[in-house]
Amino acid sequence: MTNDEVKILQSQALRVREHIIRMSGNGGCFIGASLSCADLTVYLYNKFLNTTKENLQDPNRDYLFLSKGHDVPALYGTFVELGWLEKERLKNHLKTNDHIYWHPNRNIPGIEFHSGSLGHLLSVSLGVAIDCKLQKQNNKVVTIVGDGELNEGSNWEALLVANAHKVDNLCIVVDRNAFQANIQTEDLIPLEPLEKKFEAFGCSVKRINGHDFKEMDKVFSAFPFEKNKVSVVIADTVRGKGLPSIEKRADRWFVNFKDEEVEALLKELHGVAKAELTSETLTVR
């Protein structure tokens, strides 16, 4: 990947973060997890997946399932930048006249399956991956899961089935932002050593910086990592990435900001001003 290509992706990811921040008002959204995931969705749709506006109904397309459905602002923001979704529709967030809500809705073009209840979309995507193999198709099937979501036993059951059937067209991407709701994962139910756990279930695992497009390109270009094995990418990310005032903050899981707070955060995103969030309000200095 060239430096110019990296700059294009970085610019798009910045705009996706703008969309996420704007969706954090007027009812709110899960901003921290969405910001941590933005670079991953931008890379996957631009460089890895054979999925376009024109082939969304083509059975030979690649699939992306957002199992951590509360990250949907990152997905919708990416769809806007791809030209799949009108930018103005994001203003309908949580309004009864549209389907844009806190979690993915299949009425939005590009959404493959409803999600929100954590731990079930890996099983769904596994079924799709197996079907693609039965149909002798070459689809790539990607599932983005949250790290806290891995506490759900259904994920590990799905891995047992996946590797028993040698489903090597399935790629699991873990958004490893180290938070689960309003607590750090390692303070609740520790996940590390995460690579070894996936390997013990028969997966081929790589770990990357989830905000580095060149690292992403190097790793995903090698998919599938091993024949007959599920590929797993553990992407180390920063919760709230792009907004230093809320990065790595447990209390900025779900937010509902006022209009002036949204504008302040947009300025912070662009480095125009430093925003400081308190428990009550947000001020700019």
pLDDT in tens, 36-86: 999 999 999 999 999 999 999 999 999 999 999 999 999 999 999 999 999
Residue 267 lies in a domain: no
Report H helices in 96-191: 121-134, 153-164, 185-188
**pTM (two decimals):** 0.94
Residue 63 to residue 154: CA distance in whole angstroms: 20
Q: How far apart are CA 65 and CA 67, in angstroms?
A: 6
pLDDT tens digits, 186-232: 999 999 999 999 999 999 999 999 999 999 999 999 999 999 999 99
From residue 53, how far is each of 20, 33, 111 by CA, in Å?
Answer: 21, 26, 12
Verify cis geometry, omega within 30 degrees of 0, for the bond prior to 244: no
Would you call 264 helix, strand, or coil by DSSP? helix
- CA 20 to CA 35: how far, in whole Å? 7
> What is the amino acid identity at position 45?
Y
**Adjacent-strand bridge partners of 144:** 66, 173
Neighbours of 53 (CB within 10 A): 12
129-158: average pLDDT: 97
Residue 120 in tokens: 């079930």
- Asked whether residue 88 is domain-assigned, the answer is yes
- Domain membership of residue 278 (yes or no) is no
For residue 279, being part of any structural domain is answered with no
- Picking from 86, 80, 46, 88, the residue whose alpha carbon sits closest to that of residue 64 is 46
Domain assignment present for 268: no
Beta partners for residue 232, in sequence order: 172, 205
Domain limits for position 103: 3-257
Confirm if 268 and 243 have CB atoms less than 8 A apart. yes
Name the domain count of the chain.
Answer: 1
- Residues 241, 247 contacting (CB under 8 angstroms): yes
In a domain, 274, yes or no: no
CATH of the domain at 127: 3.40.50.970
